[in-house]
Every structure is written in C-alpha cells, then in structure tokens.
Amino acid sequence: MKKVASILRYTILTLGALIMILPFFWMLSTSLKTQPETVQIPPVWIPKQLQWGNYVEAFKAAPFARYFVNSVIVTGVTTIGQLFTSILAAFAFSKLRFWGKNILFLIFLGTMMIPGEMLIIPNFVTLSNMHLVNTYGALILPWLASFFTVFTLRQTFNSVSDQTYFAAKIDGASDWRFLWHILVPMSKSTITAVTVLQVIGSWNAFMWPLIVTNDENMRTLPVGLQAFTTDAGTNFALLMAASTFVIIPMVVVYIFLQKYIIAGISNSGLKG
C-alpha cells in the first residue's frame, strides 16, 4: 500500500514536471529546426540536423547585441544602486535614532499598498520634463530605491543585536565602519538573496522599459524581443532562438544561485 502511494506520487510529480519543462524543450527544439520542420505534423521532437545557424541569423536580424548590452547596464546599475541606497536606509531604520522615524516608516509601508502601475504616468511626465526619455536615466532612476528591499534588510539588521552595535562603538568603530565591516558581512545571505531577486526582476522588466524607450538603440532585451516578433513573422525557428537568448542568462543565474532565490522567497513567506 505504501509502495503504491509512493509510485503514484512520483508518477504525478513526473507528469507535472514534464508539463512544466515542455515549453522550454519546445523552444529549444524549434530554435534548432529548419523552417519546414517547424510546421511538420506530427511534430518533430528532435530536429534531424541541429540548425545552430538560426541563432546567428536571429542575432543579426535585430540589434540584439545592443539590447543585451542595454539590459546588462540597466540591470547592473539598478541592482547596485538600489542595494546601496537600501543598505544605508535600512541601517538608519534599524540602528540609528532620529526624529520622525516611526512616521516615516509608516508612510513607506503605506506606499507599498499602491500599485506601481499608477505611478507610470506621473513618472513619465517627470522624466520627459527632465529630457530623460530614451536614456539610461529613465530606465534606471525610478528603480534606484525600493522600500521593499529596505524593509527586508532592516529585518535582517534588526536580528543583529544592539549590544553588538554598542560594543563596536565602544571599541571606536564609526557607524560607517560598523555598517560595512560588521553588519553587511553578517547579513550576507539576505543581501545575496535580495540582489539575485532584483537582478531577475530588472532583467525581465517589460512595461516600464516599453514606455520610456521608442528609440531602438535604448531597448532592453524583453522590449527588443517583443519588437522582433513583428519582423520574425511566421519564422518560428528564429523567434524561438531569440527567446532562448533572452531566457538563458537568468536560467544560468538560477541554476547557480537557486539556494538564495528560494531562501529569499521563503523569507517573504515567513514574514507574512
């Protein structure tokens, strides 16, 4: 009886896993087909000859190299910038004494209730008035601070006792030194988790980059890929090749840093 239940569990989980993996497999398989093979019925699961040339062709069919560089710049600067502003602010909220601390904290908690989509219109107006539309500035500036990150880091900083802080101060460490030499290293795993989640979020972001870039040269990968669908038309092999190289970098990040991603998400679950 126990054995039957166990076999049943593995069967269901395997079937489910196949459904989850199928779109990825189908993407890779299609990306390596000749055009006649893509529309063959019954479907060709593994192409006779792998058409690696599709990747080269897709890469040249649109300025994907440029999109890639844009995505790397936007993701990199956003993540590092946001981490920097958040670490400083989280430290202040966790360990420093100042007027208006509770009110400020409550205001920020309140802003987390607001759907970000509402802010798109005024932010677009602000950035147009600053003549920043179609620049890296527009793609990056609004995301250089995140109260969610501040909140998460503050929780972790709070778990480092105030005694540790005062002991360090008595030993003559300045706040700045304490923050970067003691608090940050002690919170390494949370910081890694928020960093990885931010990298994935920035890399995959679509609506905002779509709105602030009409210039082809400023597109990020997802926006560029969406624009490419019109050019690719019914050439599904090329379209799947292009989709693959948008997806691959984050899959690599995921495979290497899975532990932190899962921990980051689990953490948000524990708090709730």
Partner 1 sequence: MLNEKPTVKSSIKAYLYLLPMLVITFTFNIYPIIKSFLMSFYTKYDFYTDVVSAYGFSNFTYLWNDPDFHLAVRNTLVFVVGVVPLNIIISLFIALLLNKIKRFAGAFRTIYFLPFVTSTVAIAQVWNWIYHSDYGLLNYFLGLVGINPINWLNDPNWAMPALIIMSIWKGLGFNIVLFLVGLNNINTRYYQAAEIDGADSWHQFTNVTLPLLSPITFLVTINGVIGSFKVFDEIFALFQGSSGPSKSALTIVYYLYEKFYTEWKYGIAAASGVVLFFLILLVTLIQLWYSRKHVHY
Instruction: State in angstroms the smallest separation of the CB of 57 from partner 1.
Output: 16
Are 27 and 244 spatial neighbours (Cβ–Cβ below 8 Å)? Answer: yes
Residue 150 near partner 1 by CB under 8 A = yes
- Where does residue 250 rank: exposed (0-12), middle (13-18), buried (19+ CB within 10 A)? middle
Q: Which secondary-structure segment (H or E) carries 81? A: helix 64-95
Site for partner 1 in 90-109 (CB under 8 A): 91-92, 96-99, 101, 104, 107-108
Cβ–Cβ contacts within 10 Å for residue 137, how many? 14
Instruction: State in angstroms the smallest separation of the CB of 144 from partner 1.
Output: 5
Cβ–Cβ contacts within 10 Å for residue 146, how many? 20
Rounded Cα gap, residues 85 and 228, in angstroms = 35
Cβ–Cβ contacts within 10 Å for residue 210, how many? 15
Mark 153-192 with x for binding to partner 1 (rule: CB under 8 A) and - for no binding: ---------x---x--------x-----------------
Sole residue written with tokens 């000859």: 49
Site for partner 1 in 8-27 (CB under 8 A): 9-10, 12-13, 16-17, 19-24, 26-27
Are 224 and 67 spatial neighbours (Cβ–Cβ below 8 Å)? Answer: yes
Residue 52 near partner 1 by CB under 8 A = no
Instruction: State in angstroms the smallest separation of the CB of 157 from partner 1.
Output: 12
Q: Which of 61, 77, 119, 173 binds partner 1 (CB under 8 A)?
A: 119
Q: What is the size of the binding site for partner 1 (CB under 8 A)?
A: 96
Site for partner 1 in 207-246 (CB under 8 A): 207, 210-211, 221-223, 225-226, 229-230, 236, 239-240, 242-244, 246
Q: Which of 1, 4, 103, 113 binds partner 1 (CB under 8 A)?
A: 113
Q: Which of 48, 103, 117, 171 binds partner 1 (CB under 8 A)?
A: 117
Residues shown for the chain: 272
**Closest C-alpha to 51, from 244, 224, 263, 258:** 244
